[in-house]
Amino acid sequence: MTDTRSTTSPLWLLIGLQAAISAGGLVVEIVAGRMIAPYVGMSLYTWTAIIAVVLTGFSVGHWWGGRLAARDSAQALQTTGWIMAMAALVTALASLVLRWVATPVLLSVSDPLLAIWVLTTLAFFLPSLFAGVPSPVLAVVAMRGSAQSERVLGAMFAAGAVGAILGTLLAGFVFISWVGSVGTLLIMALVYAVSAALCFFLSGLAGKARWAAAAALVLPIAAGGWALSGPRVCDTESSYYCIRTIALADAPHPVNLMVLDHLAHGISAEATPRIMHTDHTAMLDALPRMRMGRDDFSSFHIGGGSYSVPRAWADRGASDIVVSEVDPDVTAAAVRDFWFDPTSAAVLHRDARAVLRESTRAFDVIVGDAFTDIAVPAHLVTVEFFALVAARLEPGGLFAMNAIDHVDRMEALAALVVTLQEVFPHVEVWTEAIPPQPGERRVFVLLAGDAQSPVSQIETRTPDPKRFAVLDPAYIAQVVSRLNARPLTDDFAPIDRLVGLSTLLE
């Protein structure tokens, strides 16, 4: 029996539907990365989990859609309409689902990498599954009754690819920046709801079924309003981070904490700019000053965050401070909530490697704050980058960078040590002067230059007095030898794996 309705379905409308639904699927995939970040951060592992979960959903949806496409066109389109109504609903609810399940999952799943997979699956598998169904249905409906079915099939595949490209561009350059993650999901839910209505229209839905379909399409709208009425996860959602400011102490002596995605990135007190509140900022503040023996040295800072160290050095009288912070919204938050004076430093909103490559000026101290849990910019921890850093140091200059690793394994730390040793004559590893505990994740600061430090211990406030010490070079050499650590290069820098392996033992 010939399906006459398939011959009256406008090809341009089917192509438009294919493109719009494909665009929605890619937008949701990209938004998933942004929405997961406040809970588990953004890293190679996060994107791997998101892409795998979304592609699994698409694949199962395509298989399901292929089975539906075997029905006559009207029935297949009607069923697809109901599925797209479900896609609209679960997409509108995704932000709420993530908020509901994040805490229970993170408390019950000890492996952080597995937690990433569980969160992604719970929040974004169903939206991807339902969005994957229409593609084969629309392609088969378009081909039926066509004398050039091969060309029609090619046009439908091309429409899906073009839609995916447009969705990627719109998500990255328009939607997330202008309406935020929740707003973007709701726009995609609306796209899916309109797609469902068009499928119902093309199927010839009539009578009471139309009212049922209309009622079904109201649900995503209600879910969207619910999602919008909930508390905001981010104070500012920039092109790079979910930025939050948390008040740890109120007036008359306020102390604020900056959170970028899921990590506490810096703490500052209004009244005491010279006192650090975390181990890594305490060492990055005190160790260069110890090595320089003065406070008026020039410095270049890789990353701003809460700007705690630049603020402290400016308060001590340093006037030649340059900060490379890629995200201008982070700088705005530091000025607004962390008492950073933007006139006290030259702030460049660009990648630090690009800045150092293009500039020829040298500094007394270069500070690298690249480690953020399991997310480390690989291009800032390689032999090539460290060679660039060395070329931008004055004679007798110092490079200081933080690192985080498990004391039981230390793969990442060992790799960083041997990488720095490829460039600098002397490399030291500093940490808190207390014995390590089994399973402990510890903050380290590596100092690299052409001389050793004149002391092996220092004491500074964090805000209580705390002592830090340099690790025995023989011990570091033993760790490097035991792990057979190899230098990181631009061609091969598996820092995510090295950090991730340690994280698995947490």
Q: For the segment 393-442, what is each residue's pLDDT rounded down to a tens digit?
A: 999 999 999 998 888 889 999 999 999 999 999 999 999 999 988 888 89
Distances (CA, A) of 446 to 21, 280, 400, 416: 49, 11, 6, 9
Q: Indicate if the pLDDT at residue 220 is higher than 60.
A: yes
Domain-wise residue ranges, the chain = 4-233, 272-503
User: For 15-26, what is each residue's pLDDT tens digit?
Assistant: 999 999 999 999
284: phi then psi, degrees, rounded to nearest 5 = -65, -25
Under the banding of pLDDT at 50, 70 and 90, the label for residue 3 is: very low
- Read off the pLDDT of each residue in 163-186 and give the average, rounded to a whole number: 89
DSSP secondary structure string for all residues of 366-417: EEE---BTTB--GGGSSHHHHHHHHHTEEEEEEEEEEEEEETTT-HHHHHHH
Tell me which of 64-73, 404-413, 441-450 is least confident: 404-413
As a whole number of angstroms, the distance between CA 262 and CA 243 comes to 9
Judge whether residue 473 has pLDDT over 80: yes
Q: Does position 156 have pLDDT exceeding 50, yes or no?
A: yes
Sign of the dihedral through C-alpha 466, 472, 473, 476: negative
The pLDDT of residue 223 is above 50: yes
Residues 4-233: name the CATH superfamily. Answer: MFS general substrate transporter like domains (1.20.1250.20)
User: Do the domains at 4-233 and 272-503 have one common CATH topology?
Assistant: no
- Report residue 382: phi and psi, to 5°: -110, 165
Mean pLDDT in residue range 300-317: 95
The larger pLDDT score, comparing residue 44 to residue 453, is at 453
Has domain 272-503 been given CATH number 3.40.50.150?
yes
| 249-261 pLDDT tens trace | 988 889 999 998 8
Q: What is the pLDDT, as a whole number, of residue 263?
A: 80
